[in-house]
Amino acid sequence: MKVIEAVEALAALAQESRLVLFRMLVQAGKDGVSAGELSEKLGIPPATLSFHLKTLVHAKLVKSRTEGRFVIYSANYAGMDKLIAYLTEHCCAGDAAQCAPVKKC
């Protein structure tokens, strides 16, 4: 991932509604969620939701597909993985064991 791509992805996630939207799509899995359902669940007007989705798609964090009359959005896991890999590329001076998440009891 290039620096500019990481900046675009992080900028897209740096807005509360988009972060909530992205997390919802990540949790929904590969099947995704229709735009109408997203609007209803999040209480975001369709025009505003469209703006946020466009930003996430442009940042390569979200994908869309058409199913009949519906547009279905899903997280772009490959894009998310690239961002995470970019952010942790040189983590802990090359000692990945130091970067492992702490397990909670």
User: What is the set of domains in the chain, with CATH numbers?
Assistant: 3-99 (1.10.10.10)
Report the mean per-residue pLDDT for the chain. Answer: 92
How far apart, in whole angstroms, are the C-alpha atoms of residue 57 and residue 61?
A: 6
Residue range 57-85: average pLDDT? 96
pTM for the complete prediction?
Answer: 0.85
pLDDT band, residue 95 (cuts 50/70/90): confident
Sheet strands side by side (includes 33-34)? 33-34, 70-75, 62-67
Query: What are 4-37's pLDDT values in tens digits?
Result: 999 999 999 999 999 999 999 999 999 999 999 9
* Higher pLDDT among residues 47 and 1, named by residue: 47
pLDDT higher than threshold 90 for residue 103: no
